[in-house]
Amino acid sequence: MGAGKSTICRIFGQLGVPIYDADTRAKWIMNNDPILKKAITDNFGWDAYTRKDELNREYLAKVVFNNNEKLEMLNSIVHPAVKQDYQQWTQEHKNEPYSINEAALLFESESYKSLHKVIVVTSPIETRIERITKRDHVKREDILKRIQNQSTDRQRMSKADWVIYNDGVRSLIEQTMAIHHDIIKIRENEVVPFKV
């Protein structure tokens, strides 16, 4: 969260790599899938959606980020729907050299297990907090609660095949290009579609 995944994905996108944005797709599914909407309403009440029948993200965030049981419940409802959507998307992009699944909760949902390789983007915590505050207009303590519900940098990095350091010192383009070249070399020896 706030590490710079979207920035890195934009660089990969400029190279022609298809990107699956799990967070954006999850929001779309939560607003458009009637079965998922019913499950969310049944478990979190009518306040989970606004009068305009749009997902009430602020309400849900307040409920789940202070209650691990509710967070697990929400994830158990949403993650399978996103997984199914992603599987369909990968079929549509199966002829590409490789594709990328951009996800904040890749490890928490265990969806990283379905990927061939994992890239982790990391950034100093204070930089992340500053970015999230500007982007989402959220208080520092709320950001810290959200971050605490995610895997630590150490946990993520231990499962990574590559790490991109978004620290303002190392070039993001150079790091991304090096990984791109590595993947292309690996892909030349692969027979199946390749997902990162």
Computed on alpha carbons and rounded to an integer, the radius of gyration of the chain in Å comes to 17
3-state secondary structure of 100: strand
What pLDDT, on a 0 to 100 scale, did the predictor assign at position 177?
Answer: 97
pTM of the model: 0.85
| Mean predicted lDDT score pLDDT of the chain | 91
Q: Which of 72, 92, 112 is the last residue of a domain?
A: 92
> Are 122 and 195 part of one and the same domain?
yes
> Are 101 and 183 part of one and the same domain?
yes
pLDDT higher than threshold 60 for residue 62: yes
User: What is the distance between the alpha carbons of residues 149 and 66, in angstroms, rounded to a whole number?
Assistant: 10
Run of H or E including 101: strand 100-102
Least confident of 50-59, 134-143, 175-184: 134-143
> Are 69 and 128 part of one and the same domain?
no
* Mean local confidence (pLDDT), 112-134: 92
Residue pLDDT, tens place only, 2-22? 899 999 999 999 999 999 999
> Are 103 and 11 part of one and the same domain?
yes
Least confident of 16-20, 51-55, 138-142: 138-142
What pLDDT, on a 0 to 100 scale, did the predictor assign at position 26?
Answer: 94
Residue of 65 and 55 predicted with greater confidence: 55
Residue 52: pLDDT band by 50, 70, 90 thresholds? very high
Residue 188: pLDDT band by 50, 70, 90 thresholds? confident
> Are 59 and 10 part of one and the same domain?
no
34 exposure class (CB count in 10 Å sphere: 0-12, 13-18, 19+): exposed
What pLDDT, on a 0 to 100 scale, did the predictor assign at position 65?
Answer: 78
CATH number of domain containing 11: 3.40.50.300
